[in-house]
Chain A
Amino acid sequence: MELTLFIIVGAIAVVTAVMMLISENAVHSALFLVLNFACIAFFFLMLSGAFLAMVQITVYAGAIMVLFLFVIMLLGAERLRPEQNPRFPWMVPAAIALALIFLVTVSLAIIRGEVGASSRQIEQPYVRAVNAVDQLEAVDVYLDGALIAENLAYGEASAFTPWERGRYDITLYPAGAEEPLATAKVDLNRGEAISFTALGTRADPLLVVADEDLRGTDRSDALRVTVVNGVRSVERIDVVRGTDPVASEILIDDLPYGAASRPVLITGGTTDLSVFSDGVRRDRLMTFSDRTLTPEQGHLWVFTTRARPDNSFDNVFLSLESNALPSFGGPTSIGLTLFARYILPMQMVAVVLLVAMIGTIIFTRDMLAPRRVFVRRLANPPAELQAPIAPEAASRSSLEG
């Protein structure tokens, strides 16, 4: 589908470019170029550059092309002279040969250089730690010996930290202790947001790697939820919206203990949440009423239990909310990058624009200045100019008379 669209729009782009070149009327050329720019804007959309596509339409197809059309109309230069007796007859074959050489070089580079084979990189994964270990007040979490969370209290999460991609060992220590409680292995890939969630009890701890999806959603009322099951008393749980086991909307189905769900997209709002045991007997394990689910966020929900001194259990629902990352190529992410990393180039471009503006004004002034001097001189001619005019005028009048 995408490939078909690419071929169709690409063909339109090439055809309009050729038509622009061979058109005999400059206005037609400009209009073909507008169509070509629209095709490029479409490609920007396909390359997830929504903002660029809009700028392409407004700035290029709008402002710049209007400027072109304006100048063509102003000069009355829309009729192009047929290209005869070229000044450099060898130019045409030379240009075509150069073009072919360039095309062959690019094709060779594409074929031999394996442009598409290089992997996507650079966008870093983010990591954080979440402590939900019963009977343990605080933990330290290390990633290959590097500390990512120190003295993390129960129910707390550390902030998301950017990390290098790769394979790591996570180790969980009780706060300040030497002996590790649990270890796990994790692969950090591009763009992931990983929460190392420590579950279980001090005697039987467990590290769960929950991969959240912090990308923005297309819907303004939706949020993404990742659920970690820390309920030890049953095998598997269901998480539903509402309290009724039958009529409710199931958000997460059949999640085993110590596992993290995939991120699911749900609608926000204020709602009741219930946890049921999955299986033949559907028991309601916990209910949390009137929970506000803020849209356009990423939520990590940890359902677990915590022992009281009298051996009964408290139900615990940790809801960790983080703002969704701005979408790739959207105005927010472009603006953030532009005003953070690219502030100096942007200032330089602004100076260039200013210089261009002043330059245009100076060109126009130079064009208008001689005429103004001329007018003033005619209206009020200096004496040395007046002298020759008078005798000539007199002789003229005598001739006519």
Chain B
Amino acid sequence: MEPPEVATELYVLLSAILFILGTLGVLLRRNAILIFMSVELMLNAANLALAAFARQWGTLDGQLLVFFVMTIAAAEVAVGLALIVAIFRTKKSTDIDDLHLFKN
């Protein structure tokens, strides 16, 4: 079988870049919803690397892991957004800096 035109390294590099952007979003933005979206971006970057390695090794295990990650992400989004809504009810804000409970 001939080697693929786009090497696995390129996919891993792109995945790393997207993951870093997601990390920066989590660390630097202060809006809870945006932090959540950045987490989704990080999960997707990991999914991309998994799919690339699945092709590399010619097995489906990587693709199935992507499948599971997607399912867990869906569950996580449901719970997380419910939490955000609950916090918004009490604090009237989605800014994480307003969520310090121990210090005024």
Q: A residues touching B (Cβ–Cβ < 8 Å)?
A: 1-3, 6, 10, 13-14, 17-18, 20-21, 26, 29-30, 33, 36-37, 40, 43-44, 46-49, 51-52, 55-56, 59-60, 63-64, 67-68, 71-72, 74-75, 77, 80-81, 83, 86-87, 91-92, 94-96, 98-99, 102-103, 106-107, 110, 115-116, 118, 120-123, 190-191, 328-329, 333-334, 337-338, 342, 345-346, 349, 352-353, 355-357, 359-360, 363-364, 366-367
Contact = CB atoms under 8 A, between A and B. Distances in A.
Contacts of A94: 27
Nearest to A72: B33
B77 to A, nearest CB: 5
A13 B85 CA distance: 29
A95 B79 contact: no
B75 A60 contact: no
A209 B83 CA distance: 63
B64 A337 contact: yes
B54 to A, nearest CB: 7
- Tell me what chain B mostly uses at the interface: helix, strand, loop, or mixed: helix
A52 B86 contact: no
A329 B64 CA distance: 9
Interface string B66-94: 11101111111111011111101100001
Given A77-B88, A87-B97, A106-B13, A349 B60 contact: no
Interface residues of B, number: 74
Given A17-B18, A59-B74, A106-B13, A49 B63 contact: yes
Contact of A116 (B38, B48, B56): B56
Contacts of A14: 14, 17-18, 21
A30 B37 contact: yes
A3 B11 CA distance: 11
Nearest to B69: A349
B13 A110 contact: yes
A190 B84 CA distance: 49
